[in-house]
Structure 1
Amino acid sequence: MSLAYDFHDPRTARPSAALTEVMDRLGAKSTFERDEEIYAQGDDVEHLYRLVSGVVRTTRLAADGRRQVGDFYYPGDLFGLEVGPDHQFSAEALTSCEVQVVRRASVRAFAGDVELDRAILEATRRELQRTQDHLLLLGRRSAREKVAAFLLNLAEGAVPGAVDLPMGRQDMADYLGLTIETVSRMLTQLQDEEIVEFPTFRRFQVKRPEMLAALVD
C-alpha cells in the first residue's frame, strides 16, 4: 500500500519535508573524508543521496583526461538523481561529509511508484535549472565576470561577514572553464581593488558588494 507523500516543493532546491521523512526512516548515514568518492561516473543509479553536513562536488572526466566540475552541493541538498540508468558525473566529498543514503527500491516499496517518479521528476527539474545557471555562467564574456559571479553567488547564500570557500582554486577553474592561473590572477585583482578580501585561503569577505555586483550585471 503506497502513502500519499508529496515529494516536491517548487519553492526550494531542497527535498520536501515528506521526502526528508522517508529518507530519515529508510536511509543510512555514511561518512566520507575529503576527496573520497561517493559514487563513480558510470555507476548504476540505485540510490538517493541527501547531504547532511559538508560539501560535495560532482565531476566528469572527458575522454582526453580533462576534468569538469558539474556543481557543488551543500547540507540539505539532494544529489545523484538522474533520468538515465547510470551516473554521468561522479560525486566526491569536497570536505568531510555525512551523507544520508537510501536505495531507490526501498523508497519505491515504502511510498509507491507515483511518488518516487514525482521525486525524480522534480529533482531532474532542479538539476536542469542548475545546468542552465552553469551554462549562463560559462557564457559570460570575461574571466573576471565569471569569477565575480561565482563569488557573488557564494556570498548571497551565506550569512553576512566572511564567506567559506570550501573549494580550491583548481575546483573553481574546472567549474568556470578557466585555468587555475587565470582564476588566481582574477582573485588577486579583485583583492587588490579592495572589492573582496581573503583573510585566509579558504574564506573571503565582500568589501564592496555594489562593485562586485556591477561586474556581474
Structure 2
Amino acid sequence: MSTLSAPSFSPSSALLAAQFLQDDRQSFWDQQPGLAGTLISVAQDQGIYSEGDQATLFYKVVSGVVRTCKFLGDGRRQVDAFYLAGEVFGIEPGEAHRLAAEAAADCTLVAYRRRSLDSLSDGNEAVARHLFQFALQNAARAQDHALLLGHRSALEKLACFLLHWASRSTQQATVTLAVSRQDIADFLGLTIETVSRTLSKLEKDGVIKMPAARRVDLRNLGALRALTI
C-alpha cells in the first residue's frame, strides 16, 4: 500500500488551523497563533503514515474517515480506531508513530507540523493542558476498545459499535457506515462473515433495518442498548 509523501508547507498552501478545528476546543485553538497546516486529499485505502515512521506531522480530518491500525506478524490487521470529520490524530508521546494510519474512505485532511505544536506547548500551560486531555481521551478510548475485544459476544460487540457510531453522527437513529464490513470486523476482532451474520440477525429481530448496504436504521434503541449492559 502506498503512503503519502510529505506535504508541502509553502505559504500559498498554508491554512490557519482554526479554520478546521470544529470540535469543542475550537474557541481555544482559534486563539493560538502560528499553528498552520496544509490541506491534502487522500484516496480510499491509501496510507497516510506507517507504523514506525517519524511523527513529524499530525492531522485533522476535514471529511471522510481515517483508520489507525496495526499489522500483525501473520498478516492480520487490527483496526485500533476510526477518526471522523473534526477529529485529530497522529499526535504521539514519542518520536515515532505507534500505529499505521490509512484512509478508510476518500479523505480531506489538514497536515500540521508537530514542531509547531511543540513550540506552542513549551511554556504555555493552556496548550499543555489541552494536550494532556487529548492523551487522557485516547487512553480511555483504548481501554474501552480493549474491554470490547475481550469481554463481549459478537452481538454485543456490534451493538456497541452501532451505538458508538450513532453517537458521533448528526442523526442518532440512522447510522451511515462510511467504512467497510472488513474494517468493522478488524475493529471488533471478528470475521467479516460473523459481522454480516450478526447484522442479519439484528435486522431479523427488528432491532435494526438496513435499507442500503451501508445505511443502518436503529429501530429499537432500547433493545440495542440492552445488549451492551
How far residue 136 of structure 1 moved from its aligned partner, in angstroms, is 2.0
For residues 46 and 168 of structure 2, what CA distance do their matches in structure 1 show?
25
Offset from partner CA, 1:112-170 (integer Å, 9 cap, x none): 51346545433221210110111121133311111111111112332144321011111
Residue of structure 2 in register with 1:104 after alignment = 114
Judge conservation of contact 1:22–1:107 (CA < 8 Å) in 2. Answer: no
Q: Is it true that 1:64 corresponds to 2:59 in the alignment?
A: no
Cα displacement (A) at 1:23: 8.4
Q: Which residue of 2 aligns with 1:154?
A: 165
Aligned residue number for residue 156 of structure 2? 145
> CA separation of 1:196/1:67 partners in 2, compared to 1, >3 Å: closer, same or farther?
same
Instruction: Out of 28-37 and 133-142, give the one that drifted further.
Output: 133-142
2:90 to 70, 80, 83: 80
Alignment equivalent of 1:196, drawn from 183, 193, 208: 208
Unaligned runs of at least 5 residues, structure 1:
1-11
Tell which deviates more after alignment, 93-102 or 15-24: 15-24
Q: Within 2, Cα distance between the matches of 1:22 and 1:35?
A: 33
CA distance in 2, matches of 1:160, 1:141: 23
Partner of 2:122: 113
- CA distance, structure 2, for counterparts of residue 49 and residue 160 of structure 1: 26
> SS of the counterpart of 1:188?
helix
Mapped to 2, the partners of 1:153 and 1:186 lie a distance apart of 17
Deviates more, 1:18-27 or 1:89-98: 18-27
Against the structure 1 CA distance between its residues 157 and 105, is the aligned structure 2 distance closer, same or farther, given a 3 Å change threshold?
closer
CA deviation after TM superposition for structure 1 residue 14, in Å: 5.6
Give the whole-Å Cα distance in 1 for the aligned partners of 2:213 and 2:34: 36
The Cα shift of 1:180 comes to: 1.1
Q: Distance in 2 between matches of 1:44 and 1:139?
A: 31
Q: Which residue does 2:194 correspond to in 1?
A: 182
CA distance in 2, matches of 1:46, 1:141: 37
1:34–1:94 CA contact under 8 A, matched in 2: yes
Query: 1:179 is aligned with what amino acid?
Result: T
Q: 1:77 to 1:15 in 2, by over 3 A?
A: farther
> Closer, same or farther in 2 for the Cα pair 1:14/1:42, shift >3 Å?
farther
**1:13–1:126 CA contact under 8 A, matched in 2:** no
Aligned partners of 1:166 and 1:119: how far apart in 2? 29
Structure 2 residue 142 is the aligned partner of structure 1 residue 131: yes
Specify whether residues 91 and 106 from structure 1 end up closer, same or farther in structure 2 by C-alpha distance, changes over 3 A only. Answer: same
Name structure 2 gaps, 5 residues minimum: 1-21
CA RMSD, Structure 1 to Structure 2 (Å): 2.2
For CA contacts below 8 A with separation 6 or more, give which structure has more relative contact order: 1
Deviates more, 1:94-103 or 1:157-166: 157-166
Please point out which of 168, 172, 179 is paired with 2:180: 168
